[in-house]
Amino acid sequence: MTGGAGLGPSFDPDRLAVLRAQFSNPGVTNAPNAPSPPISGTPAEPRGFAALKLLWLRAGAVILGFVAMLYLIEGFDQIGSRQLDTAGIEPREADGLWGILWAPVLHGGWDHLIGNTLPLLVLGFIVLLSGIWRGLAATAIIWVVAGVGTWLSGADGTVHLGASSLVFGWLTFLISRGWFARNLGQIVLGLVVLALYGSLLWGVLPGQPGISWQGHLFGAVGGLLAGWVLSGDARRNRRGDKAGVIA
């Protein structure tokens, strides 16, 4: 065939040298003194302190972005005469199922949101330091469990909203994950978190009118479930499981 593209990457001399070496010495992956051809478009992953710094920056950006979104939503709600407050979880109502999706980003006023802000920032940041995707997976589990549990158990005629279900879920996730994984560092961190925020756990009990203890309770249950699910690899490694290997 004709064309003006020239010789493609298959005719790269370094690549040919590597292929010849592999055919002549099947056990050797690279020929002596023949550098492996670089893979374009794949920058080296940062390691050590650089990787830790990047994780901290990403975790901080994600949680700050999430909390900023909550303030934007509340500001819009205040301008719109708080009509969004009706979009929370309505127990055992078919329309109230949508509240499972929206409830954690809605609040009953600035006081409600401001009261949640500091624990959201602190606990959310620490959860994301376990890995961005792991932290998001834990949050998704807590979000769903808290919402479904509240929808099933809340009082008739009530509307439940607020990010405190995430706060309680993140709290129990951080406290429990080290125990499930038998990771000493995570256990110590969990104890520190328990000492700082453990008093919040009283909020899972029925108490002050107007406070969704159901959201707190099932948020905490979701955090325990997330801690167990996301420590699965560590638990299997501890038992020495060899999944998929035939003895």
157-166: b or e for each residue (b if 16 or more CB lie within 10 Å)?
eebbbbbbbb
Largest Cα span, the chain: 81
- Burial (CB count <10 Å: 0-12, 13-18, 19+), residue 102: middle
Q: What is the pLDDT of residues 85-135, one digit of tens each?
A: 889 999 999 988 999 999 999 998 999 999 999 999 999 999 999 899 999
If DSSP codes are grouped into helix, strand and coil, which group holds residue 202?
helix
pLDDT at 163 > cutoff 90: yes
pTM: 0.77
Confidence tier at 25 by pLDDT (50, 70, 90)? low
Query: With 60 as the cut, is the pLDDT of residue 139 above it?
Result: yes
**Which of the residue ranges 35-49, 102-116, 150-164 would you say has the lowest mean pLDDT?**
35-49
* Average pLDDT, rounded, for the chain: 83
User: pLDDT category, 9, cuts 50, 70, 90?
Assistant: very low
pLDDT in tens, 223-242: 999 999 998 887 788 777 54
